[in-house]
Amino acid sequence: MPTMVEPISWAEQVEKGDDRSLPPSSEDFDEENAIKTITEYKYNDDGKVVKVVKIYKVEKRKAAKSIARRKNWRKFGAAERDPPGPNPANTIVQVEEINMQIILNKEQKQQEQEEDPLLKLKNQKMVSCRICKGDHWTTKCPYKDTLAPLQEQLQQDEKKAAETAPGPQQQQPAPQKSAGKYVPPSLREGANKGRGEVMQSKRDESATIRVTNLSEDTRESDLQELFRPFGPIQRIYLAKDKNTGQSKGFAFINFHRREDAARAIAGVSGFGYDHLILNVEWAKPSGTS
């Protein structure tokens, strides 16, 4: 039964030189709920008295005879002096709950994530059909045959548009090598590196710049906005923390043309963005340290 701990004032204790032994530990068993409470007093690392209350739920389980017999075995070896019940020094029940993370169609999800940058590029109309203005190559247009008579007309429109609006507008599908069709300079022979289907694998690294000292809140769209005026952007890579999704403070911008990249460096380096001053320089080719 619980023993009454005789009250002592701390002042008294200090006067006595603290040679009082600790209050005795007590054990209480609530039979109704089968809950055992052990109260102990001990000194902590700072030399202060700490009250430790341990609450156990006592369970009765039916077990096979052999198991029950083993339950009564005496402890031996390193556990020889351990009191009955788990020794808190080497048996720790983890307080926080750990759940099994259920994974469903993991591969599918990963693929989606990988394809994300491509989708973004599509939205930028990197590829637009000359027949229907859809997001596909002209040769793959589903309306190729039905809209064929209109093709001539559309081509002319296209030409006008290309002439009047330079810059991002020039990003049209790779032209077929037939006479009479307009070929933008950026797409002519020798200048069309890093376009088309090989874009992702064989990136031209010469027009890549590295932006550092970005703020944590920076998004890819912010960078796009910032660098768009300098010329067509092939790809933006913003380094993000895997878990939090926050920016790690640097990004790579691939331009189509090296001149654009050079202008971007000249224009944005030292530019104050958010509360930080951006640092822009040529990216070192990957693979070199």
User: Applying CB under 8 A, which residues contact other proteins?
Assistant: 61, 63-64, 66-67, 70-71, 73-80, 82, 85-87, 89-104, 106, 242-243
Helix, coil or strand: residue 7: coil
Q: Which is nearer to other proteins, 44 or 91 (CB)?
A: 91
Smallest separation (angstroms) from other proteins to the CB of 46: 24
Cβ atoms of 280 and 244 closer than 8 Å: no
Q: Which is nearer to other proteins, 105 or 123 (CB)?
A: 105
Residue among 112 and 225 whose Cβ is closer to other proteins: 112
Give the nearest distance from C-beta 35 to other proteins in angstroms.
Answer: 16
Distances in whole angstroms, Cα of residue 76 to Cα of each of 69, 73, 187, 206: 16, 9, 82, 71
How far, in Å, CA of 268 to CA of 235, rounded? Answer: 17
Backbone angles phi, psi at 117, to 5 degrees: -60, -35
Question: CB of residue 58 vs other proteins: minimum separation in angstroms?
Answer: 11
The answer to whether 50 touches 41, Cβ cutoff 8 Å, is: yes
H or E element at residue 50: strand 49-57
Nearer to other proteins, 9 or 99 (CB): 99
Q: Which residue is listed with tokens 């032209």?
A: 175
Minimum distance from residue 214 beta carbon to other proteins (Å): 23
CB of 78 to other proteins, least distance (A): 4
User: Which residue number, 65 or 177, has a Cβ lying nearer to other proteins?
Assistant: 65
Going by the DSSP 8-state scheme, the letter that residue 271 receives in this structure is -
